[in-house]
Amino acid sequence: MEFAPSPRAADLIERVKRFIDEEITPVEGAYHQQLAALREGDGDPWTPLPLLAELRSKARAEGLWNLFLPYAHAGEYAARFGTDGGTGLTNSDYAPIAELTGRSFLAPYVFNCNAPDSGNMEVLLQYGNQAQRDRWLDPLLDGTIRSAFGMTEPGVASSDATNMAATAVLDGDEVVINGRKWWTTGIGHPDCEVIIFMGLTDAEADRHRRHTMVLVPVDTPGVKIERMLPAMGRYDEPFGHGEVSFTDVRVPAENILLGPGRAYEIAQGRLGPGRVHHCMRLIGLAETALEAACRRGLDRTAFGKPLANLGGNRERIARARIAIDSARLLVLNAAWKLDTVGAFGALSEISQIKAHVPTMAQEVIDFAMQIHGGAGVSDDVPLSAAWSTARAIRLADGPDEVHLDLVGRLELAKHRK
């Protein structure tokens, strides 16, 4: 594989870095303080603070908008919705940009590249028909609405996607939807207008052809946000993760994506690039944590020495550097495989990064927390939030065990006679 980014990607990497350094980082601390004050007082933390709109407007004006758009499918959308250069990026070229955005909790949203919206937009781009794109993809790319993804359910082992029991049953020219979803990310945002819902359509079909994905407007009768879910005590406003019930919800059959029974196919196509994005953002998060650990180790003294020179901390710093750099190469390899042979040809590589990178990030962040002492577990520094993010992603998009099992099965298959 070629490690050097393309000239266009190299230019974007430099500009994204500069924008984060000059526009986002100087105000991010104050943003989180203001959000905390709203939580603790009588304010509304779910209404996005004006600062976010200001930053998004600046980013779009500089062409740093919808940079996740894939090279193969961006087409006219990149030109119409402010993506610099008017074409999409390969996974390999977008990966280092995703890493940069992972260094900030605000940056993915500022560049209109945050999950689950980016994944939902890729689904509409790759699998949606023109009417679906006109209604939902255009405003998502324009940043005027938000979306959610309803897949995981509280009543089944959702690590096996074929277990999903909520139903999406065809009834003439409508789809009738019933069931309950949770960890529906993005549902708390006031601009969230559509959910991509995965439901059981034909229980007798092949297990990978039983489910259907349907576009469900949030304001459809029968859709109810039952509660917002804290992840390790954090609600992640203004996006959040919700538990949503669907009771005799009826939407037109034309809201089905790709066709009945095609949900598993869509999910596999959606989650490949999404896992690269997640992992590269986590590498950026780990880099930020290691930088914080090094600064703390040099600035603080205990027992007559800098913390960096105590208790094997230099070795821990070295191992963190090796772990981050190794993980980055692993993800870049997966991105390259996605670009060259597609998601099904890169199944092992994608599962490898999803099983490895969140754990790596969690361990690096944990060390940074330790060297910060009491501050590390407070909200005075962002490390506890970073640790929670890495820990949660060990479950999101498939838990570690599922991915490790797949890697093992694929490896064994090479040696069967």
Residue range 299-333, pLDDT digits in tens: 999 999 999 999 999 999 999 999 999 999 999 99
Amino acid 75: pLDDT: 85
Residue range 191-241, pLDDT digits in tens: 999 999 999 999 999 999 999 999 999 999 999 999 999 999 999 999 999
- Going through 253-349 in order, the beta strands assigned E by DSSP cover 301-302, 305-306
Higher pLDDT, 159 or 279: 279
Alpha-carbon distance of 120 to 365, in angstroms, equals: 29
Alpha-carbon distance of 102 to 277, in angstroms, equals: 9
Q: Cβ(321)–Cβ(313) under 8 Å?
A: no
Q: Cβ(328)–Cβ(92) under 8 Å?
A: no
Amino acid 109: pLDDT: 98
Alpha-carbon distance of 240 to 110, in angstroms, equals: 17
Res. 181 pLDDT band, cuts 50 70 90: very high
Q: Is pLDDT at 55 greater than 80 in this prediction?
A: yes
Residue 166, classified by CB atoms within 10 Å of its CB into exposed (0-12), middle (13-18) or buried (19+), is buried
pLDDT mean over 103-116: 97
pLDDT mean over 164-176: 97
Taking residue 109's Cβ as centre, other Cβ atoms within 10 Å add up to: 23
Alpha-carbon Rg for the chain, nearest whole angstrom, is: 22
Of the CA atoms within 13 Å of residue 82, those in its CB half-sphere come to 20
Res. 258 pLDDT band, cuts 50 70 90: very high
Residue range 15-29, pLDDT digits in tens: 999 999 999 999 999
